[in-house]
Amino acid sequence: MRFLIYILFGILIGNAHGQVANPQTTPSEKRQHSPLASQSRSPDGIPSLERAVDSIITNGIKKEAFPGAQVLVAKQGDIIFHKAYGYHTYDSLRPVGLHDRYDLASVTKITAALPALMKMYEDGLIDLDAPFSDYWKPWKYRKDKSDLTLREILAHQAGLTPYIVFLNEVMKHGKLKKRFVRKELKGKFSLRAYEDLYVHRRFQRKMYRMINRSKVSAEKKYRYSGLAFLLFPEVVEDLSGNSYEYY
């Protein structure tokens, strides 16, 4: 699959949240070359892939988009590039190391939904410039969403609401609502949220309704939104005929 030859499977960009430094990381581990020797080289001897990644990441750090990052590129199971940049936080106290661990959080968008969409595109199952409502039927009946394309959504230029705090819907006065959340797997409480915490299946429908009814900005400029990524798993299953996990 030519579109999946390189996936930045670990562009683990972060701030202080969720990062755990490995005390065994040494300065010599800041860079790992693997088969980069086979990459074409620029006149100064630096492989072209490394030069391109260096440019992107150092520019992001310089502009304070993030304090540091770890980039890993793999092809067919082999790591061909792995390098750490910058620091864990903007105070520049703890350098990022190759063995630091991260809370994946929104990186799951890159490592799960996005590769699935890329494969569906290659397989001819989706058209980036077709209305997303062709694949998510409830949006056909939403005037502000019916014409939004998948390309606009993936570029975060569709005007979608950035996020919805669904946690507020399962809590009241600081306690979990038992009609939505239980501490054991039982009956319709089958959606695991955390260890020993299960959500009722009907909450998923409630979540979809809230996303379908969310506001859309008429101004189509960059505005980050993760809402559609909560819909993609069901779209993948509908179009592929496989479970999201398998696909």
pLDDT (0 to 100) of residue 46: 52
For position 242, what pLDDT does the model report? 92
- Rounded to whole angstroms, the Cα distance separating 146 from 138 reads 9
For residue 120, is pLDDT > 80? yes
- State how far the Cα of 151 lies from the Cα of 130, in Å rounded to an integer: 8
Q: What is the pLDDT of residues 1-53, one digit of tens each?
A: 333 323 333 333 333 334 444 444 444 344 444 444 445 444 544 578 889 99
pLDDT digits (tens, 9 = 90+) for 194-210: 788 888 888 989 999 99
Please answer whether residues 153 and 228 qualify as being in contact, where contact means their C-beta atoms are separated by less than 8 angstroms. Answer: yes
- Indicate if the pLDDT at residue 105 is higher than 80: no
CA distance 176 to 174: 7
What value, to the nearest 5°, has the Cα angle with vertex 118 and ends 155 and 160? 30
- Alpha-carbon separation of residue 191 from 182, 187, 227, 233 (angstroms): 10, 10, 18, 14
Distance CA 196, CA 201 (A): 16
- Judged against a pLDDT cut of 90, whether residue 150 lies above it is answered with yes
